[in-house]
Amino acid sequence: MSVLVLIEPDDELALQAVTLARSLGGPVQGISIGPADAPVDVLHVAQVDGSYAPGAWAAAVVQLVERLAPSAVVAPGSDRGNEVLAHVAARLDLPLAANVTEMRGDEVTRQRWGGSLLEEARLGEGLKLLTAAPHAFEAAAGRAGATESFAPALAEADTAVRVVESVGASTGGISLAEAKVVVSGGRGVGSAEGFAVLEELAGLLGGAVGCSRVVTSAGWRPHADQVGQTGTKVSPELYVACGISGATQHIAGCKGAKKLLAINGDPEATIFAHADYAVIGDLHEILPAISAELRKARAA
């Protein structure tokens, strides 16, 4: 039996989902809404007009499932991947395992708490529905196989909810999710004004400023700057955590960083257990000293 994968064009997470699908054995068939390129054996291109409509995407998946009778449907663990597969699960009245990191037979390992905890669970008999946890798999490489086109039959209700307008972001500075360096502050920064020393260092490094939830709840920074389980997930070369204690929900957002430098006054702070480099002391003394040292090194 084959495995069906939901492909979004130009989506790294979809290529990761292909890797999970390959691990299940059997041929891998893809479904995309409109043209896409992916290393699958057969790509079924659904002809669905217009902007994104989760119901229409789900209807297309369900109709292809009926035709191909795959053993599993895998989607990327993206907002849309999780959304479309939940629609499919509701339509077929089947369980759905979201953010799976591994599958063995009918058992899955999946992420809870934004990846701070894993759950081993059994999916019952029949068609398995799962999404691939982001960055738990290498992206699949290779050439695309055959392409087939199909036109799913859509009901009016399938397209009742759809994107009616897409608004561009205000282009201000380096985006948190893409930044090579993130200088992030927590309660220890003490105030909105206290972030000036983080801004200065981030500016010198061409990086972005992030923060913990305590900071956004206090209104010191906008939620767009929050790193963590309910904020942005970042994966810079270097994450500098300043005055952040290291709660699991914060770590969930920065564990993708290549290296973590923690600056904290408390030598026992949990953040040090997640850090590659540690500086113990007051961030308000240490950050200006680092910025000054950087300037000095550059002038030399």
Partner 1 sequence: MRILVAVKRVPITGGRIVLTDDGQAIQTRHLGFTISPHEECGVEEAVRIVEAQGGEVVVLTLGPAEAEEQLRECMAIGADRGIHLVSDEEWDAQATAAALVEAIRAEAPFDLIVFGNESADAGNYQVGIRVAYALGLPIVTGLKGLVVSDGRARAEQETASGRDVYEVGLPAIVTVKEGLNLPRYPSVPAKLRANRKPVAAQAVGRPPSRLQKLRLVVPAGRGKQAEILGRGPEAAPAVVEIMRRLGVA
Ligand X SMILES: Cc1cc2nc3c(=O)[nH]c(=O)nc-3n(C[C@H](O)[C@H](O)[C@H](O)COP(=O)(O)OP(=O)(O)OC[C@H]3O[C@@H](n4cnc5c(N)ncnc54)[C@H](O)[C@@H]3O)c2cc1C
Contact indicator for 131, 99 with CB cutoff of 8 Å: yes
Query: Of the candidates 42, 187, 256, 288, which one interacts with ligand X according to CB under 6 A?
Result: 187
62 binds, among ligand X, partner 1, none (CB under 5 to 8 A by kind): none
Contact indicator for 263, 241 with CB cutoff of 8 Å: yes
Nearest by Cα to 65 from 155, 1, 147, 17: 1
22 phi, psi to nearest 5 deg? -60, -35
Angle (nearest 5°) at CA 123 between 119 and 126? 165
In the complex, minimum distance from the CB of residue 63 to ligand X, in angstroms, rounded to a whole number: 37
Q: Does 280 bind ligand X (CB under 6 A)?
A: no
Stretch touching ligand X by CB under 6 A, among 63-71, 128-136, 158-166, 280-288: 280-288
Return the structure tokens found at 203: 């500016």
H/E element, 100: strand 97-104
In the complex, minimum distance from the CB of residue 287 to ligand X, in angstroms, rounded to a whole number: 9
Q: Which of residues 30-89 bind partner 1 (CB under 8 A)?
A: 52, 54, 79, 82-83, 86-87, 89
Q: Does 266 bind ligand X (CB under 6 A)?
A: yes
In the complex, minimum distance from the CB of residue 46 to partner 1, in angstroms, rounded to a whole number: 20
Return the structure tokens found at 299: 């002038």
Q: Does 240 bind ligand X (CB under 6 A)?
A: no
Question: Residue numbers of the site for ligand X (CB under 6 A)?
Answer: 186-188, 212-214, 226-231, 243-245, 247, 249-250, 253, 263-266, 269, 282-284
